[in-house]
Amino acid sequence: MKQTVAVLTRHDKARLIAPALSQFGWQLSEVDSFDTDTLGSFAGGHSRFMTAQECAFRKAALAADMSGQNIGIGSEGSFAVGPFGIGTYNLELICCINVSAGWAVTGRFYGPSLAQQWRLTDAESLQLALAGVEPGQYLVLQQGHYLKKALTAAQAHNLALLRFSYGEVTLSYDLRAHLSPQRRLHIQQAADDLARRLQHLCPHCASPGFWPDKALPGLPCEACGVATSLTRQRQALCQRCGYTETKPVAASHASQQYCQECNP
């Protein structure tokens, strides 16, 4: 028997999340009566006032509350500079809460993104920018208080040429899920991660999401045995009952290059 699960979205996310969760007999239903852009938008207008995790949880709670279903799902993405200050990375979170059972599980994806932004003043720089835009990716054009969203590359080209007479324009990816092909793929990968986590049950109370997220450092150096900053163990914590379980990583020692004694 199918169980209805509510997803809070106005950006067609249920279709992206549903395949990964079909194995649980869930039928996803969209709740679109709440303007999720008020919690923060990539296309301007509203800055997010919560962390991405808090926002995903809030959306999941709203989905359950507004639909009257036991299970609600909320999705939230964020973009930031990548490791070592190189490139742009996308973090996608999909939070699933079960109100009656009292648990919450979050799936995630973290990886490089094609997200771009350009400050343009002429047709030549505009042409170079648009040449690298991913097929199917929509754009946002901004100039002072002037803002146009959901532009195709052709529309952005024509509009930018008109606006150059007023000065510099800023052109960027419209990163709302229904307008960004790569972000849709990342959301699907986060949904796959959520499905895996839902299958891992706490040995103590059987709540889902018992996952070794916490990294404990201290892997000993292969040469001198001094504890390094590399992960020695990973710990799973049940968010519902507090039960913990710690297991060692596969590696038994760290390379000398990570040792503060051997390689200060």
Burial 207-222 (b: 16+ CB within 10 A, else e): bbbbbbeeeeeebbbb
The pLDDT score that the predictor gives to residue 134 is 93
Secondary structure element (H or E) that encloses residue 57, with its range: helix 52-67
Residue 92 sits in the same domain as residue 7: yes
pTM: 0.90
Burial of 36 (0-12, 13-18, 19+ CB in 10 A): buried
> pLDDT tens digit string along 49-64?
789 999 999 999 999 9
pLDDT for the residue numbered 197: 98
With beta carbons less than 8 A apart as the criterion, state whether 233 and 247 touch: yes
> 193 and 88 in one domain?
yes
Does residue 99 share a domain with residue 218? no
Specify the number of domains making up the chain. 3
Contact between 22 and 48 under an 8 Å Cβ cutoff? The reply is no
Question: Facing residues of 222 across strands?
Answer: none
Whether residue 20 is contained in a domain is answered as yes
Mean pLDDT of 61-72: 97
- 223 and 240 inside one domain: yes
**Residue 223 banded pLDDT, cuts 50, 70, 90:** very high
Structure confidence at residue 39 (pLDDT)? 75
Q: Is residue 174's pLDDT more than 70?
A: yes
| 231: its two tokens | 């992960």
pLDDT at 47 over 90: no
For residue 122, with 0-12 CB atoms within 10 Å meaning exposed, 13-18 middle and 19 or more buried, which class applies? exposed
* CATH code (residue 12): 3.90.950.10
Mean pLDDT computed over 127-149: 96
Q: Which range has the worst mean pLDDT, 82-86, 108-112, 137-141, 162-166?
A: 82-86
Asked if 62 and 50 count as a contact pair (C-beta separation under 8 A), the reply is: no
Q: Is residue 206 part of a domain?
A: no
- Answer yes or no: is 55 within a domain: yes
Six-digit token pair at 10? 């106005």
For residues 78 and 147, membership in a common domain is answered with: no
Residue 205 lies in a domain: no
Give the model's pLDDT for residue 29: 96
Percent of the chain past pLDDT 70, that is, above it, reads: 96
Q: For the beta carbon of residue 116, count every other beta carbon within 10 angstroms.
A: 15
What's residue 45's pLDDT?
A: 57
Q: Which residue's structure tokens are 């519902």?
A: 240
> CA 208 to CA 188: how far, in whole Å?
20
Say if residue 76 is in the same domain as residue 193.
yes
Mean pLDDT computed over 226-231: 96
Share above pLDDT 90 across residues of the chain, in percent, rounded to a whole number:
90
Cα 255 to Cα 123: distance, rounded to the nearest angstrom = 52
One domain for residues 185 and 228? no
Q: Based on the domain organization, do 10 and 28 belong to the same domain?
A: yes
User: Is there a single domain that holds both residue 184 and residue 151?
Assistant: no
Under 8 Å between Cβ of 150 and 53: no
Average pLDDT over residues 92-96: 98
Q: Specify if 157 maps to a domain.
A: yes
Average pLDDT over residues 176-188: 96
Give the chain's end-to-end CA distance (angstroms, integer).
61
pLDDT of residue 48: 65
Phi, psi for residue 121 in degrees, rounded to 5:
-130, -10
Cross-strand bridge partners of residue 95: 74, 106
Judgement on whether residues 22 and 139 belong to the same structural domain of the protein: no
Q: And the tokens for 262?
A: 């051997």
Give CB contacts under 8 A, 24+ apart, made by 51-55: 52/76, 52/77, 52/78, 52/91, 52/93, 53/93, 53/95, 53/106
Q: 164 lies in a domain?
A: yes
Domain of 225, in residue numbers: 214-258
Is the pLDDT assigned to residue 44 strictly greater than 80?
A: no
Is residue 208 in some structural domain?
Answer: no
Q: Are residues 228 and 194 in the same domain?
A: no
At 42 the pLDDT is 57
3-state DSSP call for residue 227?
strand
How would residue 38 be classed by pLDDT, with cut points 50, 70 and 90? confident
